[in-house]
Amino acid sequence: MTKDKFIDAILSDVSLLTCDRINALPGGHGSLTIAYLSVANLIVEARLAGKNMALENANAVSTDLDGLIQGCVAAAKEAGAVPSNAALITAVLLYFSGTAPRAGVPAANRKLGAMARMHAGAERCGTVAIPTPKMGNKISGFPAVAALYRAIDKRRITDVDGRFLPLGGACGTSMGHSALGEDWIIPQIALNGAAAATRGMLRAYVGLGAPENPIFSAIFGAAAVAEIIHPDAAVSEDYGKYGEVDSIYLTGLGAAREAGLIPELTIRGTDRKLDMARMVGDLGLILKDAGAPTVVAMNGIYDLLSGFEESGYIMPNAIGAINPPLSHTPLSFLLTAMTLLIQSGGDVKEVGERITRLRVADSHDPETALVAMYIVVRKALESTSGPVTDALLAASEAAAIQAVAGRIKRSGERLEAGEDLAQVVKGFDDERKSIVEKNATAFFKHITGKDITIEFTAVRPQARRTDPFTRKYLGFDAYFDADVVVDGKLHRIEDVYGTALPRAARGGIFRLKQRIKGWMAIQMAKRGRLPNVMAGQEWLLPQMLDIPLSVACLAGQELTYASINILNIVVPAAVAVDMKLYKPDEAARIAERAAYITATIPGGLMRARRLGEKILGLATSPEETIMEHP
């Protein structure tokens, strides 16, 4: 068998290259990545074809946009999305492609989220029941709604007392198009209400033992207010020009200010900028209108928002370039792909090359980042095709081929030189650990200006458990010892996740010291003494003051996700089988056991065995091996 055929055999079934259960993705189980990609393909195709995608208050039953929305929600449903999720995905991706979120006069009033919900056949549930994205645990919009109504009950939203309004002064043009409504009541509801609702979300996050999530607190705060405010109202020109600033913009502004968000965002790898207040208000409006989305659709929104250059300033867990489970891949580059394709007129090659450069520059493990993208896109291509998936494939295919080819060559050479299979696999995992150690400090080097290095001196399963299952896999109870050096000072951390992290979060004196240091750091940032901390990023400082532990946690997280890419297991095992050194089941067992990093969850054994059997079946003669065909 030639080397090219060997590579093709390995890449022909991408489900054998990862322990993640990607064959479930087209059904919408656990993730709606393929639904997002399907809708994105249709939207970009429509943009490139010059179709009218404007949201208009047309005096007609249907517009051109209705037809596109119908196609998008149908595609999302085909990829496993329930109606409300299909509606949210469609509305949000249309919004980020340039379609306005609303066009309003009473008889022809149209809202993007509501249109998508109607075409999807979904029912509305209200902000109170919509979940936030799940990052470990999650909350719902209830804290925003509850905080808003508490503030209303305490007369903290507007200084106008409704009991004293003259008859006829509380409705129609006397309220909606007058100084009382546009200059006083509506702006006060927008700004004060959004602040109260956003504050409720921020408090709920920390009360759940999670870090504050500024961007989603603001979006849910805006959604809560969008349910009660006149969403099409003009406001006083003190806030901006007539026709440019409205009640939803002010709602977003109030929420963004309360959350401490930066004023502007940039889609990664592009020159396209979005006004934070406008985006927060618009997404809040879409969210409250789109139906009753579930957490899998909301997780996709989280991944989309990770696609901004400033994502580390607006939400936790977007810090650094961790390669997440494949259910989150590659949506963090979806807005980049859509924007660049529309701007370039559909130049798939150029966009693919740009995304490759961006992903390599922004990853703890660049090879795994591109291999993971390739795996998901190949699976998506079984259900959808179009410019977006073509661009993402162009970004990742060469890297995946190179990753496989390099391991075939090096595995064969080392096995021929007398190394056993376990040594070969462990060598690849040693390299993987070194790559993560090298790249994981970049974020903190930038923020602090300090020289930082990390080395994991111990990596094994079972920090605290004793059962036979978790003894085999790193991902369920990882034990890490780490040496972190900050400006020449060694910090030795034992048992990062089992001991050091709980102590930092729960220990009384330790926690008090961290709070004091966090407060001091915020004051320093406000006075310009931390030059690499941007405005809006100060909320991070109390969390990252323990630099050594933060670096160790992030790097460890990358390692515990390693089974998204199991080339270190399946390729050496396949080469060993092809060279007649082992039978498929024996090679698979040895390779998985030796992969102390890559085998973070079950699945490597079965996949390596199946690939070995496949390689044996493709051999043209019992004696032929890959090493005979350089």
Quick one: 31 and 157 in the same domain? no
Domain boundary among 534, 563, 592: 563
For 594, the enclosing helix (H) or strand (E) is helix 584-594
Assigned domain for 131 exists: no
Q: What's the pTM?
A: 0.93
> Mean pLDDT, to the nearest integer, of 511-526?
64
Residues 6+ apart with CB under 8 A from 381: 389, 393
E strands along 150-305, which residues?
264-266, 273-275
Helical ranges in 417-546 per DSSP H: 421-439, 442-448, 501-506, 508-526, 541-544
Whether 31 has a pLDDT exceeding 80, the answer reads yes
Quick one: 177 and 277 in the same domain? yes
CB 555 within 8 A of CB 574: no
Residue 520 is predicted with a pLDDT of: 66
Share of the chain above pLDDT 90, in %: 79
Cα gap 89→81, rounded to integer Å:
9
- Tokens at 615, concatenated: 């390689």
pLDDT tens profile 83-109 = 999 999 999 999 999 999 999 777 778
pLDDT tens profile 183-232 = 999 999 999 999 999 999 999 998 998 888 999 999 999 999 999 999 99
| Higher pLDDT, residue 627 or 51 | 51
Residue 176 is predicted with a pLDDT of: 84
Local structure of 382: helix, strand or coil:
coil
Residues 6+ apart with CB under 8 A from 103: 55, 56, 57, 109, 110
**With bands split at pLDDT 50, 70 and 90, how would you rate the model's confidence at 313?**
confident
Q: Which of 310, 315, 312 is nearest to 132 (CA)?
A: 315
CB 351 within 8 A of CB 340: yes
Residue 450 is predicted with a pLDDT of: 85
> Mean pLDDT, to the nearest integer, of 497-523?
74
Is the preceding omega at residue 622 within 30 degrees of 0, hence cis?
A: no
Q: Which of 236, 232, 233, 226 is nearest to 184 (CA)?
A: 236
**With bands split at pLDDT 50, 70 and 90, how would you rate the model's confidence at 452?**
very high
Q: Between the CA of residue 75 and those of 70, 373, 413, 485, what are the distances in Å?
A: 9, 21, 47, 50
Residue 59 is predicted with a pLDDT of: 87
* 271-280, 409-418, 528-537: range with lowest mean pLDDT: 528-537
Cα gap 102→325, rounded to integer Å:
35
Is the preceding omega at residue 330 within 30 degrees of 0, hence cis?
A: yes
Q: What is the DSSP letter of 331?
A: G
Phi, psi of 433 (to 5 degrees): -60, -40
Assigned domain for 628 exists: no
Assigned domain for 594 exists: no
For 390, the enclosing helix (H) or strand (E) is helix 387-416
- Tokens at 617, concatenated: 């079946």
Whether 523 has a pLDDT exceeding 80, the answer reads no
CB 556 within 8 A of CB 496: yes
Assigned domain for 412 exists: no
Share of the chain above pLDDT 70, in %: 91
Quick one: 110 and 174 in the same domain? no
CB 384 within 8 A of CB 34: yes
Domain boundary among 271, 289, 307: 289
Assigned domain for 411 exists: no
- In the beta sheet, which residues pair with residue 266? 273
Quick one: 147 and 109 in the same domain? no
Quick one: 492 and 549 in the same domain? yes
Cα gap 445→320, rounded to integer Å:
11
How does DSSP assign 177-197, residue by residue?
Answer: TSIIIIIIIHHHIIIIIHHHH
* 55-69, 74-88, 482-496, 540-554: range with lowest mean pLDDT: 540-554
> Mean pLDDT, to the nearest integer, of 24-38?
96
CB 595 within 8 A of CB 604: yes
CB 397 within 8 A of CB 374: yes
> Mean pLDDT, to the nearest integer, of 251-255?
98
Quick one: 61 and 143 in the same domain? no
Quick one: 251 and 153 in the same domain? yes
> Mean pLDDT, to the nearest integer, of 494-500?
96
Whether 539 has a pLDDT exceeding 60, the answer reads no
Whether 535 has a pLDDT exceeding 80, the answer reads no
Assigned domain for 242 exists: yes
Domain that holds residue 156: 139-289
Residue 630 is predicted with a pLDDT of: 47
Residue 315 is predicted with a pLDDT of: 86
Burial of residue 321 (CB within 10 Å: 0-12, 13-18, 19+) is: buried
Residues 6+ apart with CB under 8 A from 135: 210, 213, 302, 316, 317
Residue type, 7: I
Helical ranges in 227-274 per DSSP H: 247-259
> Mean pLDDT, to the nearest integer, of 580-588?
97
Domain boundary among 510, 528, 563: 563
Q: Between the CA of residue 520 and those of 211, 523, 541, 601, what are the distances in Å?
A: 19, 5, 9, 41
Quick one: 444 and 516 in the same domain? yes
First and final C-alpha spacing in the chain: 10
> Mean pLDDT, to the nearest integer, of 564-580?
97
Residue 522 is predicted with a pLDDT of: 65
> Mean pLDDT, to the nearest integer, of 304-321?
82
Whether 253 has a pLDDT exceeding 60, the answer reads yes
Cα gap 478→212, rounded to integer Å:
25
Instruction: Provide the mean pLDDT of the chain.
Output: 92
Local structure of 265: helix, strand or coil:
strand
Quick one: 148 and 239 in the same domain? yes
Burial of residue 531 (CB within 10 Å: 0-12, 13-18, 19+) is: exposed
- Tokens at 496, concatenated: 């990062």
Residues 6+ apart with CB under 8 A from 85: 28, 32, 35, 76, 291, 293, 294, 296, 297
Residues 6+ apart with CB under 8 A from 362: 268, 321
Quick one: 42 and 156 in the same domain? no
Assigned domain for 569 exists: no
Q: Which of 518, 537, 542 is nearest to 259 (CA)?
A: 537
Local structure of 606: helix, strand or coil:
helix
CA angle (343 as vertex; 79, 91 as ends), nearest 5? 35
pLDDT tens profile 403-434 = 999 999 999 999 999 999 999 999 999 999 99
| Higher pLDDT, residue 586 or 322 | 586
| Higher pLDDT, residue 40 or 174 | 40
Assigned domain for 324 exists: no
Quick one: 178 and 222 in the same domain? yes
What sign does the CA torsion over 321, 507, 502, 31 have? negative
Q: What is the 3-state composition of the chain as percent helix, strand, coil, each rounded to the nearest 5?
A: 60, 5, 35
Neighbours of 252 (CB within 10 A): 30
Q: What is the number of structural domains in the chain?
A: 3
Residue type, 612: G
Quick one: 116 and 143 in the same domain? no
> Which single residue is written with the structure tokens 């200010």?
257
**With bands split at pLDDT 50, 70 and 90, how would you rate the model's confidence at 538?**
low
